[in-house]
Amino acid sequence: MKKITVKKQAIEKIKSFNPWIYKNEIKKFPKDVYKGEVLSVYSPNGEFLGIGYINPLSVITIRMLSFFKKEDINKEFFIQRIKRAFKKREYLKKITNAFRVIHSEADFLPGLIVDYYNGYLSLQINTAGMENFRKEILEALIEVLEPKGIYEKSDEKSREKEGLNTEEGILYGNIPEEIIIIENDVRFIISLQKGQKTGFYLDQRKNRKIVSDYVKKGFRVLDLFSNTGGFGIYCGLKGADFIKFVDISENAVNLIVENCKLNSIKNYQVVQENVFDFLKEEVKKGEKYDIIIIDPPSFAKTKKEKEGALRGFKYLILKSLQLLSEEGFIAVFSCSHHVDMEDLKDTALSASKDRKTPVEIVEHMYQDIDHPYILNIPNSLYLKGFLFRKCII
């Protein structure tokens, strides 16, 4: 195994179990390394720090697989990591048949994401290092999880950055066009072939329940960026009188209709439209809602995009405050690491000042437990949000 030496500033990161080493933190490259090659990582004074894989094409040049321990990266390595990750999630089977099994760096398998949907797996292999172990990973997943089928839906942008082509399709067994999953007694139809990301936003499971617990009989609910209708359907099952779903995706709005039928939701409307345009018109109409959910896709995939993202959030919160009933609630979420909880709070505060209404935060919300937040890995905390309401004074 070839050796690579990192600079002094990278040593503390590795000793803190942060798995990302950037190109400018590397002191000495070995000769003729290939993308995804596994290397031993050393400090300038020769101290062994662990094992990682390298990609000279990537800004994140080394991703650590093992810390302070010399071990073979083979099928057995992946079997043990997958078993450990699965064991942490087993208790979720009491409330759902769909959960994330492997969450990349947060399960110490950087570049690998695996979701479980009622016996089927959705897989992302997003780095050259994981791509080089594709055979071992598939064999390990089949041995440990015994799935009926595995569908690959790797992230195109991530693979492009790694110098990899993107392929999508069935890797093992069979994949039905639709799979029915259950969480907290709510049922959803998902499509691994047509759905966004790996099939469903499992990370919001806990938050869907938290928000819906505030529903009272007679409530009108507005579910913005609704995807397949998760938040709104939860609210409908808790007694909301009317739900309006808004999403720009044709596939998403079609699944909303199917999911409403599946859960016997009767009084609802589905709008296929850009949310920003929709809100402008809805304010003109003078509509009012008792719960509004703002759960957009990532507005800031890079730090440079943060300012624009916050402007977007400000607009969404301002318009939602105009549509909110006197004692209504707004749930707002950011799934970008670059927009943190304080950014969201500051934006909501600015909107409340503009609307001349104080607001009260009643819940702080984060990604569910099957998307672990490892304190040593700051980027593993990515989903954050809060539920707030107008104060009456």
In tens digits, what is the pLDDT along the chain, a chain of 393 residues?
Answer: 999 999 999 999 999 999 999 999 999 888 899 999 999 999 999 999 999 999 999 999 999 999 999 999 999 999 999 999 999 999 999 999 999 999 999 999 999 999 999 999 999 999 999 999 999 999 999 999 999 999 999 888 889 989 999 889 999 999 999 999 999 999 999 989 876 665 689 999 999 999 999 999 999 999 999 999 999 999 999 999 999 999 999 988 999 999 999 999 999 999 999 999 999 999 999 999 999 999 998 887 788 888 888 999 999 999 999 999 998 999 999 998 888 999 999 999 999 999 999 999 999 999 999 999 999 999 899 999 999 999 887
- For the whole model, what pTM was predicted? 0.92
Which residue in 88, 81, 120, 83 sits closest to 104, CA to CA? 81
What architecture is domain 75-173? Answer: 2-Layer Sandwich (3.30)
Return the number of other C-beta atoms located less than 10 Å from residue 17's C-beta: 16
Specify the CATH class of 201-390 in words. alpha beta
Whole-number pLDDT of residue 300: 73
Residues labelled catalytic = 335
Buried b (16+ CB within 10 A) or exposed e, 286-297: eeebbbbbbbbe
- Rounded to whole angstroms, the Cα distance separating 103 from 195 reads 19
Which long-range CB contacts under 8 A does 347-351 form with residues at least 24 apart? 347/310, 347/313, 347/314, 347/317, 348/317, 348/386, 348/388, 350/314, 351/314, 351/317, 351/318, 351/321
Largest CA distance in the chain: 69
On whether the CB atoms of residues 200 and 229 are closer than 8 A, the answer is no
The secondary structure of residue 339, as a DSSP letter, is: S
Q: Where are the domains of the chain?
A: 3-67, 75-173, 201-390
Tokens of 51: 């094992």
Whole-number pLDDT of residue 199: 65
28 burial level (CB within 10 Å; 0-12, 13-18, 19+): exposed
Whole-number pLDDT of residue 321: 97
The H-or-E segment that residue 107 falls in is none
3-class state of residue 117 by DSSP: strand
- Rounded to whole angstroms, the Cα distance separating 200 from 138 reads 21
- Rounded to whole angstroms, the Cα distance separating 43 from 116 reads 39
CATH 3.40.718.10 fits domain 3-67: no
Tokens of 63: 């991703």
